[in-house]
Amino acid sequence: MQTILGANGQIGTELARELRRTHTNDVRLVSRHPRRVNDSDELVAADLMDAAQTDTAVAGSDIAYLTVGLPIRRCGPDGSR
């Protein structure tokens, strides 16, 4: 099983197509509201900011791809904003 975290974005969608076309039918798509890209995709809804949900989403995966755009906190060298 190959799992794509953040599967609804442009990179995740293209990766799902390419994996199906060239490597495997066993693709799991993970996002808050996953949408099927290929007929054989397994869909998993998860909030990837929640560690327990993320652990569940990748369980049994041989490979996990992180294509999600997570929030970035911008700070100075001393940690100030």
Q: Using 50, 70 and 90 to split pLDDT, how confident is the model at 15?
A: very high
- Distance between CA atoms of 40 and 22, rounded to whole angstroms? 14
pLDDT single digits (tens) 36-78: 999 999 999 999 989 999 999 999 999 999 998 766 666 666 6
Strand partners, 30: 5, 44
- Distance between CA atoms of 81 and 77, rounded to whole angstroms? 9
The Cβ of residue 19 has, within 10 Å, a number of other Cβ atoms equal to 20
What's the whole-number mean pLDDT along residues 1-15? 94
- Distance between CA atoms of 22 and 16, rounded to whole angstroms? 10
Domain ranges across the chain: 2-66
